[in-house]
Structure 1
Amino acid sequence: MLSEIFQKPKPIIGSVQLLALPGSPDWDGHWDSLTARAEQEATALATGGVDGLILENRHDTPFSRGRMDVAGAIAMALLTRRLKQFTNLPIGISVLQNDPETALAIAMNTGADFLRLSVLSGALMTESGVINSRLNELLHYKNRLKVALPPILVDLSHQHLSTGGPSVANPEEQRLAHLLRVAETLPQSIQRLSLVISDQALSPELLPIFMAQVAFPVLVVHQNPLQAPDALFEQAHGLILETSIRKASALQAHVPPTIDMPKVEEVVNRLRGIKSVAEMDPDLFLKR
């Protein structure tokens, strides 16, 4: 499924985290700065060598527990179409903490390639309260729109609620058991499904054990800039770059740090085994 979207057996995906959109509490009314920021992040990721993008309204906090504001959905659709033309990369849509219907509508109207959802089955404990699955609503909405579901990346984390299992003394093994219980609740009827695990949820040692017991491709999220992503990337079917490739500080106090293109290039080249010019044999440049 992943190679179908990205034309690579093990894709590296970058996260474009949009500034606050129209209709959200922190929207400042400046469309030009919203667009410029989105274009900068997409350009930095594409130039750095990623294989795809995920467009997220990460700064529309505090998140609504319902549907996205209409103005925000229209803005996100316009930006999706712009960035798809701008980069010519596969693009995924992630809306709020769980608004799959709006994500599907944006994807249908912009030609986006996949969705990323925080919860597909069960429930998720968040700062906004308990977020329940909207799978039933998504399937009904898909039928109303007369479209097929695009490929879906669904997050699994320690915040997902699950039925209790046997007690395990080791904390890491406890997290593994918890994620496996959550994965068991995922609907088998969704054909093109991949799982997304944060780099803090499972160690590289336990990740293969998890992957051996699930029937879906597994991607990992690299968030910690102090942790090398090599072991995670080696084990998983793909990698999502989030906060680890952002600048250390923002130019303005009220604006979140944007993406640092050299960091993206450094991570991608290391994972792909591409040497920098400084690492190459100088004789290569002297040979005819």
Structure 2
Amino acid sequence: MKTWLKELFGVSKPIIGMCHLRALPGDPGYDAHKGMEWVYECALADVRALQEGGVDAVLFSNEFSLPYLTQVDTITVACMAAIIAQIKPHLHLPFGVNVLWDARASLDLAMATGAQFVREVFTGVYGSDFGLWNTNPGAVIRHQHHIGAQNVRLFFNIVPESAAYLGERQIADIARSTVFNTQPDALCVSGLTAGAQVSAQTLKIVKDAVPETPVFANTGVRLENVVEQLSVADGAVIGSAFKVDGYTWNPVDVERVRAIMSRVRELRSAL
């Protein structure tokens, strides 16, 4: 079941670098004076830095669209699609999308842009900073098939940031039932917020529970812990650690990307 990882990313233990889009029209933080052209220029600079630094894939998300919606406005998807379309001629890696936090919208964006994968919260009910957060995986997966997105790989975030599962369930049980009921392509395990480390122990619990399903460390992977994290996880999504000073809201620093990816290549050569 893991062979698709190598086929899609071309390497073992792939590293997906985050391209955090600046606030978009309709978002509280949108800078109307700088406009969409500035949002595009920032995103393109980050993508170039990620590629030059050696990541294996790029994941676009509307990270600056705080506070997040669980059902986004149409303008968000339209703007993300426009920006990604402009960037694609400069992008030479596999890429995915994540419309925070709307799984149907993420799939729509994937189809509009040609993204190969989507990361989202597809399952569970949570008490969160965004209110009571419910999902409907049956409807979302049917929507995936309805729009012809069967070939888009689905990364299920089973530990949403800024949220807690309402049921009294252990992470191993959540992983097992998620895989049984929804057949995700991969599971993502997150910390409390962007940049918050997931313990290697938690990753191992999930990995042992669903050994045939790829498991990604979704937050908090950095130079100091990347070897430990990838000794358990099948890959990682990295955002904050690639940024200037390791700060989530800063631009991508190509030298930080190079340093982490150099460590990752050393790990791969020892496999």
Give TM-score, length-normalised by structure 1: 0.80
Counterpart residue number, 1:129: 131
Distance of 1:146 and 1:221 partners within structure 2: 27
Counterpart residue number, 1:284: none
1:204 to 196, 200, 203: 200
Asked if 1:188 corresponds to 2:180, the answer is: yes
Q: Aligned to 1:185, what secondary structure does the other structure show? A: helix
Asked if 1:60 corresponds to 2:65, the answer is: yes
Q: Aligned to 1:256, what secondary structure does the other structure show? A: coil
- Paired letter, 2:96: G
Unaligned ranges ≥5, structure 1: 166-177, 275-288
Residues 137 and 182 in structure 2, CA contact (< 8 A), matched pair in contact too: no
Counterpart residue number, 2:259: 266
Counterpart residue number, 1:230: 227
Residues 61 and 97 in structure 2, CA contact (< 8 A), matched pair in contact too: yes
Counterpart residue number, 1:279: none
1:156 Cα deviation after fit: 2.3
Counterpart residue number, 1:282: none
Asked if 1:218 corresponds to 2:231, the answer is: no
- Paired letter, 2:92: N
| Bigger-Rg structure (1/2) | 1
Counterpart residue number, 1:257: 250
1:224 Cα deviation after fit: 6.0
1:70 Cα deviation after fit: 1.7
User: Over aligned residue pairs, what C-alpha RMSD do you find?
Assistant: 2.5
Q: Aligned to 1:248, what secondary structure does the other structure show? A: helix
Q: Aligned to 2:244, what secondary structure does the other structure show? A: coil
1:160 Cα deviation after fit: 3.9
CA, structure 1 residues 224+49, in 2 after alignment: closer, same or farther (shift >3 Å)?
A: closer
Q: Deviations over 1:15-56 (max 9, x none)?
A: 111001122222222111100100011111110000001100
Q: Aligned to 1:267, what secondary structure does the other structure show? A: helix
1:248 Cα deviation after fit: 2.3
Asked if 1:150 corresponds to 2:152, the answer is: yes
Distance of 1:160 and 1:195 partners within structure 2: 17
CA, structure 1 residues 22+76, in 2 after alignment: closer, same or farther (shift >3 Å)?
A: same
Counterpart residue number, 2:100: 96
Counterpart residue number, 1:44: 49
CA, structure 1 residues 85+104, in 2 after alignment: closer, same or farther (shift >3 Å)?
A: same
- Paired letter, 2:178: L
1:192 Cα deviation after fit: 4.9
Distance of 2:11 and 2:144 partners within structure 1: 28
Paired-residue identity, %: 25
- Paired letter, 2:37: D
Asked if 1:110 corresponds to 2:113, the answer is: yes
1:92 Cα deviation after fit: 0.8
1:227 Cα deviation after fit: 4.0
- Paired letter, 1:45: L
Q: Aligned to 1:212, what secondary structure does the other structure show? A: helix
Counterpart residue number, 1:173: none
Segment of structure 1 superposing worse, 215-224 or 199-208: 199-208
CA, structure 1 residues 201+210, in 2 after alignment: closer, same or farther (shift >3 Å)?
A: farther
1:223 Cα deviation after fit: 2.1
Counterpart residue number, 1:242: 239
- Paired letter, 1:150: V
- Paired letter, 2:144: K
Distance of 1:35 and 1:155 partners within structure 2: 27
Distance of 1:42 and 1:57 partners within structure 2: 14
Unaligned ranges ≥5, structure 2: none
1:161 Cα deviation after fit: 1.1
Distance of 1:81 and 1:183 partners within structure 2: 35
Distance of 1:223 and 1:206 partners within structure 2: 13
2:15 to 3, 12, 18: 12
Q: How many residue pairs end up in the alignment?
A: 255
1:58 Cα deviation after fit: 0.8
Distance of 1:148 and 1:247 partners within structure 2: 37
- Paired letter, 1:131: W
